[in-house]
Amino acid sequence: MTAPAPRSPALALTGLLAVTPPGWAFPTDSGSNWAKFLTPWANEISLIETTTASMINEIDPRTAAYTLPDYERVLGPDPYGRDATSLDLTTTEQAQLAWSRWTDTGGLSANDFIALAASMGVTITITTCWQTQCGQMQCGGPGLCPPPKQFTWLVTMPGTEPQAGMVTAAITAEAPSWTQPFFAYT
């Protein structure tokens, strides 16, 4: 998103003089008393437009320079510890993390959680265990898992990476209520 270029005080004054009512009481030449009266207003209009143009980037945490600390303060500490090393993160990485947390809507599919782990630098696989058939037994037969247990996820990931704990915590916290994630580390 880009804002229109701010006007200089002289251009703002020209704009104010252009909308002045016609007649001898409001002369539109730049040396008139009316123009001198409007000059402080033109200066303020120019200042407001300049400030607005510089603040348009502050709407998005990815491009925020002045309000990035405010985004981080409002979001609070990252529940998965991704900002625990905030002294090691560049400003761009901090902005990207703030944006991802600001716009995080979660997900419902295994692919959403695979993407979440990838954003933390960990490659995982998720196997959905549909336990509706076992040998000769069919769904609804005796001995099969009742329906709530059929939505079990087996999450496989490398266990040596320090991010594995963050990924485990993130998936456990964000998994849909009808799923039950189990973790296997390779």
pLDDT single digits (tens) 20-46? 998 888 998 888 999 999 999 999 999
Kindly state whether residue 29 falls inside one of the protein's structural domains: yes
Pairing of strands 125-129, 180-185: unpaired
Q: What is the pLDDT of residue 87?
A: 60
Whether residue 97 is contained in a domain is answered as no
In the prediction, which pLDDT does 136 show? 60
pLDDT confidence of residue 147: 54
CB atoms within 10 A of CB 99: 17
Domain assignment present for 127: yes
Average pLDDT, the chain: 82
pLDDT band, residue 130 (cuts 50/70/90): low
In a domain, 185, yes or no: yes
The separation between CA 141 and the C-alpha centre of its own chain, rounded to angstroms, equals 47
Task: Look up the domain containing 163 and give its range.
Answer: 107-186
Amino acid at residue number 129: C
pTM confidence score: 0.48
Average pLDDT over residues 104-117: 81
Instruction: Report the number of distinct structural domains present in the chain.
Output: 2
